[in-house]
Structure formats: C-alpha cells, structure tokens
Chains A and B, each alone.
Chain A
Amino acid sequence: MAEPVRLRFSRSLYAPASIARAAERFAAFGPSIVDAEADVLVLFSEVPERLRDRLPDEFSNHALFQTIVDAREQAPQ
C-alpha cells in the first residue's frame, strides 16, 4: 500500500476550520486531519499514483482559498 500524501499548514496562516472545509471537497482521496500545536497536518490515504504530485498543490490552493474567503466573511465591514 502506498504511503499517504502528507501536507503541513501553519495554523497562523491557514484556519483549521477552513482546511477541514477544503478537505471535504477532497473526500474521494481519504483525507484525515491532525490538528497539531503550530501546524495542521493533512494526510491523504487514497491517492492514485498519477495524482501524487499534483494533489498537494491543488489542495493547497483550495485550503488557501477557503481560509481567505472565511476570513473575509468574518471580518467586520
């Protein structure tokens, strides 16, 4: 069985709740989230070999997008 794809996001730059929302869109790839002290770790356990390079990049964009959108929604007008 292939090693899971691991991603690390700094909590000070990415909101854990936003990462979780982004992960919901990637449910097909078996994501699991580990909320560590300074970082949020995301593991994908079901990644086809041909997508192993691309998935981290795609997910990072989704996580950043969701973090920014959520921050803007919560910001006072």
Chain B
Amino acid sequence: MSDVNGLTTDLGERRARFEVDESIYALDTIQGAAYLFLDRCYVFLDRPADRRVAVLLKAKGDADEATLEALAGEFANELLNQALRKAVGASNAKIREFILAKAFFSVDAPSSIDKLLAELDAEEMEPLEIPVPWEKSDG
C-alpha cells in the first residue's frame, strides 16, 4: 500500500487500486479521467460504499511497482485537471454565450429586414390616386 497524491493506493500484480470520494470529485470528473486512460491500461470502476468510487487500473503488460505508482499518480493529477476544466467551463459559460451571440448578430452582411427595406426604397411607388384633403388644388 502506498500514498500517491493523497490517494491511498493498493498495488498488486499489474494493478493499482484506490478510492475516490465522490463528494470531492464528481462522477463525470472521474469518468473524464478514466476515459483518458482507456488506451493505456484497463480501467474498472466499482462502488465499495455510498459516495465512494473504487478505481482499478490494470497494466496491459508487465509493470513494476514504480510504474503502477506513476500510473495512479497521473490518474490523480488528471482528476484535478478534469475538475478544474469543469469549473472553468461552468464559470465561463455566460461569457461563451455572450461571445457567440455577439459573433452571430454582428455579421457584416445586411439583415433580411434591411434588404426588404432597401428593395422597398428602390421600387417606384405607384400613387394610390386617392385624393387627400390637405392637398392644395391648382385652381
């Protein structure tokens, strides 16, 4: 058993196991980290207790203790990275929406309403031939 980045890690043959507190790292954060390790090792998640997620990393080939410790450490770092990305993403959501809206509405092409108005201006307006009382008569 060893302590890797604050995670108590059990090291076995080709495997490292540690538990993550879900009140600190949300499940999608844990999954986000796990996703990035699927090509490097076998990842298995289990639920040993309420709000706790056990992460089992199993090397795809031979691995010594130092390699397994490093793998667990990288996973712990990735947990932090994923949590930070999520927090930054959430805090920037309004700014992203604003930038998108600004880009969408400030396109330099005339809007469809402007085009219609321009067409109306360009047309020769036919007089309606309805007499208006305020027109002065020539006589």
**When the two chains form their complex, are residues B28 and A64 in contact, meaning their CB atoms are under 8 A apart?**
no
Q: Which residues of chain B have C-beta atoms less than 8 A from A13's C-beta?
A: 27, 45-47, 53
- Asked if B98 is an interface residue, CB under 8 A from chain A, the answer is no
Complex: A64 Cα to B34 Cα, angstroms: 8
User: Main secondary structure on chain A at its contact with chain B?
Assistant: helix
Interface size of B as a range: 10 to 19
The tally of CB-CB contacts under 8 A between chains A and B is 38
Please give the number of chain A residues whose Cβ is less than 8 angstroms from any Cβ of chain B in the complex.
15
* Nearest-neighbor residue (CB-CB) of A67 within chain B: B31
Residue of A nearest to B14 (CB): A57
Contact of B35 (CB < 8 Å), options: A38, A58, A60, A68: A68
Question: Cβ of A65 < 8 Å from any Cβ of B?
Answer: yes
Q: Which residues of B does A touch, CB under 8 Å? A: 27-28, 31-32, 34-35, 38, 42-47, 53, 58
